[in-house]
Structure 1
Amino acid sequence: MKKSILLLLAVTLSFTSFAQDKLTEGTVISTQTMSSDDEAMNSQLAMVGEVVTTTYIKEKKSRSEVSSPMTGDVVTITDTETKKMLMLMDNPMSGKSYMEMSTDSKAAQVENIEVTNRDDKKTVLGYECEGYDVIMTAGGQTVEMTLYTTKSITAYSQQSQMYGDKIEGFPMYFVLNMSQMGKNITIENTVTEIKEEAVSSDKFNMTPPEGYTEMKQ
């Protein structure tokens, strides 16, 4: 259960990893905050502060980088042409590990997913987005999420593989509620910047680095 919750959180932190048709090369920045209704937990999360995810895109490949005290350093490299994904995790508690996956498979152990269209809209960076409510179970715990996606960006998202055809478009904003150690945690994420620029091909090496141990799904 702990493994699946940790992996779900790691995937959530690197939520913006994608390769899209309209933006063939560039960088995407998203910001994320965590809070809790428990005073002690909220104080700890406040020390974490705002988490920034940087995603590099080059044609059908992407690389997202995020550093968080809860998950350590997480790097996710995706090649949608070969349908391969490599996740590198450097956690102070569990050490360095990697996981190789297919973009056709579920990146987290999710047993049940319920998706409802909210029938409302939200504008993010000029993109009109459709709203969805999602309820899913991971490691026996219920996770609730509200997200807004735009059809103006054709993209692959790590989390969209869990929803199948239940959600259309690329996610630009989400708020997620989950329980960790019996405490309620809210995670809010929004894409804050999209820019076109040259990206080095070296960032998309799919070979696990030395010193990393394979983590089985």
Structure 2
Amino acid sequence: MIKKITFGLIAFICLGSLATQAQKKVTEGYISYAAEYDLPPDQQMAAAMLPKEYKIYYKENLSKFVMDLGMMTNQMTSDSKTNTGLMLMDIPMAKQKIAVKFTEADYEKQKEMMPDYEFAKTTESKVISGYNTIKYNAKDKQTGNQIEIWTTKDLEIPSNSFTQAFKDKIEGTPLVFVTNMNGMKVKLSFKELKAETVTGLNLTIPEGYTQMTMEELMSMSGR
């Protein structure tokens, strides 16, 4: 279940004002989202393990997605130009620090595993957090699972770990994603967009981490 959320199905709830903003371009900084989950009764115990916040740092072609799961922290740094990446997992209770490098071939393999969505632009519009947005619907051709996406042309940020999956599928910057997968509803609410100097964005494995392949990592979890 957590894996499904991690692969980019975002939900966004808007609590913004009704005033519109001029076009804003933020080339370096971070954007954060507050997460809400509506889970089936048999999965309520998992709610406490799911992240309450998602944060994405970005600068030029590099972005870092940070997810705190309480008992572990997951960071994924991606290079949109070379289609390479580095995932770092820190599990204090198990005294484990794991690093997984992703090559361009790994990304191609992941793309093959991703759902095949059909996108449709609607005529629905509204103002979210001061930005004019328009709604897109996306439907998984195999399962029928749907995503509701609200995007804006008033805000421009570089392609990052979240938005890369929708590149060339939609116009503008995604602000709202509402997902419903097998009875699990996910919403990510915009918290903050901040322009600031971002340091430490690279694909170098830090000291103290054990490097594994994705296959080795999956075998540890019994997959």
- % identical aligned pairs: 23
Q: Equivalences for 1:169-208 in 2 at 5 Å?
A: 169-179=172-182, 184-200=183-199, 202=200, 204-208=201-205
Q: Which amino acid aligns with 2:134?
A: E
> What is the TM-score when the length of structure 1 is the normalising length?
0.72
CA distance in 2, matches of 1:80, 1:35: 32
Q: Which amino acid aligns with 2:202?
A: N
The number of aligned residues is 198
CA distance in 2, matches of 1:135, 1:30: 23
Which residues of structure 2 form unaligned runs of 5+? Answer: 13-23, 219-223
CA distance in 2, matches of 1:14, 1:90: 23
Root-mean-square deviation (CA), in Å? 3.6
User: How far has the Cα of 1:99 moved from its partner?
Assistant: 4.4
- Whether contact under 8 Å (1:14, 1:74) holds in the other structure is no
Q: Which amino acid aligns with 2:32?
A: I
Structure possessing the higher radius of gyration over alpha carbons:
2
Of 161, 168, 172, 1:165 maps to 168
Structure-2 residue corresponding to 1:61: 62
CA distance in 2, matches of 1:134, 1:72: 31
What whole-Å deviation, never above 9, does each CA across 1:35-90 have from its counterpart, x for those lacking one? 12x3342x325434761112222333221211126x94221212334443323345
What whole-Å deviation, never above 9, does each CA across 1:90-135 have from its counterpart, x for those lacking one? 5789983524144984755124211121221232332212211111
User: How far has the Cα of 1:215 moved from its partner?
Assistant: 0.6
CA distance in 2, matches of 1:88, 1:185: 27
Q: Which amino acid aligns with 1:110?
A: M
CA distance in 1, matches of 2:147, 2:49: 21
CA distance in 1, matches of 2:9, 2:212: 21
Change (3 A) 1:95 1:40: farther
- Whether contact under 8 Å (1:15, 1:157) holds in the other structure is no
Change (3 A) 1:178 1:101: farther
Change (3 A) 1:89 1:10: farther
- Whether contact under 8 Å (1:113, 1:163) holds in the other structure is no
CA distance in 1, matches of 2:197, 2:137: 36
Structure with greater strand percent? 1
Structure-2 residue corresponding to 1:85: 85
Which residues of structure 1 form unaligned runs of 5+? Answer: none
Q: Note if 1:27 corresponds to 2:24.
A: no
Structure-2 residue corresponding to 1:116: 120
Q: Which amino acid aligns with 1:173?
A: V
CA distance in 2, matches of 1:32, 1:151: 23
> What is the TM-score when the length of structure 2 is the normalising length?
0.70
